[in-house]
């Protein structure tokens, strides 16, 4: 792959002359494809791979004042294993984002189902309505939840105003549940789209057949619709789980001390604590953990699907 893109790179800049190279390029579709892809691919390659490589190198260093001790050491990783604060925050991040993922998928499934099966006109309007907030500022959507859940926020002051409660409910803001609610709300579009796509693809005649053969609505759903929409459920889960695990804004604004997540810890290493190598190591550990969990999840669902189909 890489050698082809490397070959295609000079080709993109050479004017089309009759030489060996351009003949080669006109003949091979792969060469042409990589030539056309090269601007985006080179940029993303440079902007993603090199910083990651540096991050990996940095994670094996240690800070010395404002500089680094460039001697290779596993100290940062050892610290992450040994000091409970890191493990605790990593576990909490995984737990919070698992909860957010489960809630989001469960709540979005009926919605995607409704649009896929029961909306017949203006489906696009529904899809736009469901995904529109997702395009706008994540920061402001989280801020809106702070306004809603705050100690003197919409819910508390509203309930006091109508006389249902005397004291503000303290558990609303600055808690893991506030983070879970906000994450589930903010990432809904990421669940709706894959769920909708997989439900929309289901051949309606299969459902007719199940009905004709005597399945009731419940059996039909669990034997046909749900198994066939599993790919959507899986991609929705992954699409929400990965970004929410490393989220920074939501726990920073709504988490409080008990809702702090690994993203906040990483930011602290690059900010106030000024221990960049530790921050780099935490970022690497976070990525590896996410990758391992996703791989395990995909494998498990793969075997489960094999057994039920």
Partner 1 sequence: MSTDSYINRPNRPLQVYALIFLIVLYLPILFLPLFSFNDSIYVRFPMQGFTVQWYYDLMARSAVWAALMNSVKVGVAVSIVSTVLGIFAAKAITRYRFFGKEPIVIFIMLPLVVPLIIFGVALLVLFAQLLGVPLSLYTVAFGHLILCIPFSTAVLMPRFEGFDPAIEEASADLGENAWWTFWRVTFPMILPGVVASLLLCFTVSFDEFIMAFFLTGTDATLPMYIWGQLRFPQQFPSVLALSSLVIIGSFIIVLLGLWINRDADMTKTKAGTDA
Nearer to partner 1, 13 or 136 (CB): 136
Applying CB under 8 A, the site for partner 1 has a residue count of 92
**What is the spatial distance between Cα 31 and Cα 8, in angstroms, rounded to a whole number?**
6
Instruction: Select the span of 34-42, 73-81, 84-92, 298-306 touching partner 1 (CB under 8 A).
Output: 34-42
C-alpha closest to that of 182 among 71, 103, 282, 283:
103
Among positions 40-79, residues that touch partner 1 (CB under 8 A) are: 40-41, 43-44, 47-48, 50-52, 54-55, 58
**187-206: contacts with partner 1 (CB under 8 A):** 188, 193, 196-197, 200, 204
The neighbour count for residue 28, using CB atoms within 10 Å, is 15
Cα–Cα nearest to 172, from 146, 200, 198, 190 = 146
Q: CB-hemisphere CA count at 13 Å for 7?
A: 15
Residue 95 makes contact with partner 1 by CB under 8 A: no
Q: How far is the CB of 154 from partner 1 (least distance, A)?
A: 6
Q: Which of 80, 185, 237, 259 binds partner 1 (CB under 8 A)?
A: 185
- Helices and strands, counts by H and E, the chain: 17, 2
Residues numbered 225 to 244 that lie near partner 1 (CB under 8 A) are: 238-239, 242-243
Stretch that binds partner 1, among 17-25, 78-86, 152-160, 299-307 (CB under 8 A): 152-160
Tell me how far apart the alpha carbons of residues 83 and 269 are, in angstroms, rounded to a whole number: 15
């Amino acid at each position: 792959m890489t050698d082809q893109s490397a070959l295609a790179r000079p080709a993109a800049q050479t004017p089309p002359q009759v030489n060996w190279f351009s003949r080669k390029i006109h003949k091979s579709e792969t060469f042409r494809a990589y030539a056309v892809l090269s601007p985006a691919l080179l940029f993303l390659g440079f902007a993603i791979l090199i910083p990651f490589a540096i991050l990996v190198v940095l994670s094996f260093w240690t800070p010395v004042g404002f500089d680094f001790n460039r001697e290779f050491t596993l100290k940062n990783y050892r610290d992450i294993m040994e000091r409970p604060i890191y493990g605790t925050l990593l576990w909490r991040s995984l737990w919070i984002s698992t909860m957010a993922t489960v809630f989001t998928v469960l709540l979005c499934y009926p919605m995607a189902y409704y649009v896929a099966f029961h909306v017949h006109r203006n489906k696009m309007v529904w899809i736009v309505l469901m995904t529109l907030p997702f395009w706008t500022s994540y920061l402001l959507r989280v801020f809106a939840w702070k306004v809603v859940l705050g100690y003197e926020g919409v819910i508390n002051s509203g309930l006091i105003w109508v006389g249902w409660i005397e004291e503000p409910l303290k558990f609303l803001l600055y808690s893991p549940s506030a983070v879970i609610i906000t994450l589930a709300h903010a990432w809904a579009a990421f669940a709706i789209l894959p769920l909708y796509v997989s439900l929309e693809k289901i051949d309606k005649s299969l459902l007719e057949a199940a009905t004709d053969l005597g399945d009731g609505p419940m059996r039909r759903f669990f034997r046909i619709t749900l198994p066939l929409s599993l790919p959507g459920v899986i991609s929705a889960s992954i699409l929400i789980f990965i970004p929410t695990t490393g989220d920074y804004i939501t726990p920073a604004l709504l988490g409080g001390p008990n809702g702090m997540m690994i993203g906040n810890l990483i930011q602290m290493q690059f900010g106030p604590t000024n221990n960049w190598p530790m921050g780099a190591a935490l970022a690497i550990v976070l990525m590896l953990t996410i990758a391992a969990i996703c791989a395990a999840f995909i494998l498990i669902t793969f075997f489960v699907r094999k057994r039920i189909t």
